[in-house]
Amino acid sequence: MLYCADCGKKLWYHTNTVNTEIHFFSCSNYKKDTRGTCPSRHYIRADAVEQVVMLELKKLSAFLKEDEDAFIDLLTEKSNRDVIFETQRLQRVIRRATERCETIVQLHEKLYEDNANGKVSDDWYMEQAHRYEVERMELKARIAAAQEELKRQETMQVGRDNYVGAIRKFMEMQTLTPVLLRELIDRIDVYETEGVGKHRTQRIVIHYRFIDTFSLPEDRAKETYVADTRQGVAVEYLPIPVPAQAPAPLPA
Ligand SMILES: [Zn+2]
């Protein structure tokens, strides 16, 4: 469930050939390792990911245990806000793409008439008509993807209870099984390490099932996992979502 935050491809699991006790993940699309297109390796040790996930889940279960009402409130507020925002965005995407589709149909009709009247050459007509058709297909795919995503948003609202249930299960077990991991986490995005020496940081964004990313209140989020990989080299893992940015266009 680990993904490269920069190229979106999966991270692959490896074992260090010299020290076989070290297991790590790296981008399956890294250009130097795989002749892919990703500019950097996105190396992360398996034990570090595990520690970060455990720490985050412990923080979540501590929060749930100590102040269940506040936890549920925050979750509800968060998921409602996300769902409303995302639903509106998707509706906008669908509306714009539909309008553009209608425009293309009109442009195509006009082009057809112009060609029939001898105003534009056959070559030009063919070329332009092809372009319109390609764009129309892209828009149709975009609309379909957005509609699919809209459906998923609807299920997010009911997923909150399942999520709390899974956290509770973790609270009781205090250990992670592959099944529980799947119940709790959808995917984890791993960023490239930043900084040097003792000031290295690596962002790891956990996308939980049903609720996606979730930020704890500041006082509960403070503690982070720091791995001393070698003497003088440490990596602090930042399990914080990337600051909000303009919504990325949906893949066509
Ligand atoms: Zn990558």
CA 54 → CA 26, 113, 175, 177, 181, distances in Å?
Answer: 20, 66, 8, 11, 10
In a domain, 61, yes or no: no
Q: What per-residue confidence (pLDDT) applies to 94?
A: 96
86 alpha carbon to ligand 1 midpoint, in Å?
26
Domain count for the chain: 1
In a domain, 22, yes or no: no
In a domain, 110, yes or no: yes
Burial tier of 3 (Cβ tally within 10 Å: 0-12, 13-18, 19+): buried
The boundaries of the domain holding residue 118 are: 67-175
240 alpha carbon to ligand 1 midpoint, in Å?
19
Q: What per-residue confidence (pLDDT) applies to 249?
A: 57
In a domain, 37, yes or no: no
Cα gap 65→53, rounded to integer Å:
18
Q: What per-residue confidence (pLDDT) applies to 21?
A: 92
pLDDT one digit per residue (tens) for the chain, 252 residues: 999 999 999 999 999 999 999 999 999 999 988 889 999 999 999 999 998 999 899 999 999 999 999 988 888 887 778 788 888 999 999 999 999 999 999 999 999 999 999 999 999 999 999 999 999 999 999 999 999 998 888 777 667 778 888 888 888 887 888 888 888 899 999 999 998 877 888 999 999 887 788 888 888 888 888 887 666 667 788 877 666 554 555 555
Cα gap 115→173, rounded to integer Å:
72
Q: What per-residue confidence (pLDDT) applies to 248?
A: 55
68 alpha carbon to ligand 1 midpoint, in Å?
38
Q: What per-residue confidence (pLDDT) applies to 230?
A: 64
204 alpha carbon to ligand 1 midpoint, in Å?
14
In a domain, 165, yes or no: yes
Its sign, for the CA torsion 124, 130, 133, 137, is: negative
Q: What per-residue confidence (pLDDT) applies to 231?
A: 60
In a domain, 164, yes or no: yes
Q: What per-residue confidence (pLDDT) applies to 250?
A: 56
In a domain, 25, yes or no: no
Cα gap 187→211, rounded to integer Å:
12
Per-position DSSP letters for 202-238, written without gaps between them = EEEEEEETTTBS-PPPHHHH---EEEEEETTEEEEEE
In a domain, 209, yes or no: no
> Inter-axis angle of helices 122-173 and 68-116, to 10 degrees?
170
37 alpha carbon to ligand 1 midpoint, in Å?
8
4 alpha carbon to ligand 1 midpoint, in Å?
5
45 alpha carbon to ligand 1 midpoint, in Å?
16
Q: What per-residue confidence (pLDDT) applies to 160?
A: 76
Percent helix, percent strand, percent coil in the chain, to nearest 5: 55, 20, 25
Q: What per-residue confidence (pLDDT) applies to 142?
A: 95
22 alpha carbon to ligand 1 midpoint, in Å?
21
Cα gap 157→115, rounded to integer Å:
52
Cα gap 174→57, rounded to integer Å:
9
139 alpha carbon to ligand 1 midpoint, in Å?
27
